Amino acid sequence: MKRTILIVEDEPHIVMGLRDALEFEGFGVLSASTGKEGVALARSSEPDAIILDLMLPDMNGYAVCEEIRRTSAIVPIIMLTARSQESDKIRGLDAGADDYVTKPFSVNELIARIRAIFRRATRAPAAPETMQIGEATLNVAAHTLTRAGVTEQLSFYEVELLKLLVERTGQAVSRDEILQRIWGLDASPTNRTVDNFIVKLRRKIEKSSDKPAHILTVYGFGYKLVP
Ligand code: CA
C-alpha cells in the first residue's frame, strides 16, 4: 500500500526538495501552499502523515494544526519551524503536532522520522486491543482512551508512548529511551517533547494531574507507569 504524505509549505524549493526525496522513497506526495488549502486537503484526501510549516501566508501552522486535529486526532503531524525557542515548540505540541523539525533541516533526517512512524504503525500487533491504566481504558486499535464514561481520541504518539509505558509497567523508562523508541531521535535536547506528552496524557488519565497516581515521574531519569 502506497503511503501518502501531505506537505503544507509555501516555499517552492522546500516543497520540491521534499517531494523528490519522498517520491524517491516510494511515498505518494500531495502539497498545499496555504493553510486553508492544507486543511481542506487533509480532510478530503486523508493523508498518512502531514509535514506542516509554521510560517504560511494565510494562517500560522499552529492554527492549521488545530483545524486538522478537529477532524483527525490520529494522523501524525510533523511541524517545520524556523524557530528553535522551546516555547514555540511547546506551543506546536499543544496545538496537536507530534514532532517538529527546526529549519534548516536535513531531508534525510525528516524522512527517517517518517519511516520510523510507519515502521511502528505496521509492526506485528503484539499489543492487546485494550489496556487498563488505573480507571482509564486504552483502546489501541481505535486510538481512544475512556475514563469515567468519557472517551477521547488520542494522537499517534500518545498511543505509542502509552503502549511503551504499559509494556514496561512498574519499570522506570528513561526519557532518552522514550525519545529514541517513539520519536526515533538520538538527541536529548528535545527531552521536553516527552515531558509535554506526559502532561497531556496525565490530563486524560489521572484523577488529579498535579498528583499523578499512575504515570509517575522518576526524577532526573524518566517515567514509570503503575497500574
Ligand atoms: Ca513557509
d(CA 24, CA 194): 31
Which pLDDT value is given to residue 49? 94
- Residue 9 CA to ligand 1 centre (angstroms): 5
Render pLDDT for 122-141 as a digit per residue (tens, 0 to 9): 554 555 688 888 889 988 88
Is residue 76 within 8 A of residue 116, CB to CB? The reply is no
d(CA 107, CA 102): 11
- Burial group, residue 76, by CB count within 10 angstroms (0-12, 13-18, 19+): buried
User: Is the C-alpha dihedral spanning 193, 7, 83, 101 positive or negative?
Assistant: positive
Which pLDDT value is given to residue 14? 93
- Residue 56 CA to ligand 1 centre (angstroms): 5
Which pLDDT value is given to residue 54? 92
Query: Which residue, among 7, 133, 136, has the nearest Cα to 77 in the 3D structure?
Result: 7
Render pLDDT for 178-226 as a digit per residue (tens, 0 to 9): 888 887 765 554 667 888 889 989 998 998 888 999 999 999 899 999 9
Which pLDDT value is given to residue 95? 81
d(CA 9, CA 36): 11
Is residue 73 within 8 A of residue 62, CB to CB? The reply is no
Helix (H) or strand (E) holding 194: helix 191-205
Render pLDDT for 40-58 as a digit per residue (tens, 0 to 9): 999 999 999 999 999 999 9
Interaxial angle between packed helices 35-45 and 61-71, expressed in degrees from 0 to 180 and rounded to the nearest 10: 20
Domains and CATH numbers, the chain: 4-122 (3.40.50.2300), 130-225 (1.10.10.10)
Render pLDDT for 68-126 as a digit per residue (tens, 0 to 9): 998 887 889 999 887 666 677 777 777 888 888 888 888 888 888 888 777 766 554 55
Angle among Cα 126, 132, 133 to the nearest 5 degrees reads: 115
d(CA 61, CA 10): 11
- Residue 11 CA to ligand 1 centre (angstroms): 5
User: Is the C-alpha dihedral spanning 109, 110, 111, 115 positive or negative?
Assistant: positive
d(CA 89, CA 95): 10
Query: Which residue, among 12, 101, 108, 95, has the nearest Cα to 60 in the 3D structure?
Result: 95
Across residues 21-31, what is the average pLDDT?
A: 94
- Residue 80 CA to ligand 1 centre (angstroms): 8
Which pLDDT value is given to residue 128? 65
- Residue 49 CA to ligand 1 centre (angstroms): 18
pTM (two decimals): 0.67
- Residue 64 CA to ligand 1 centre (angstroms): 13
Across residues 8-12, what is the average pLDDT?
A: 96
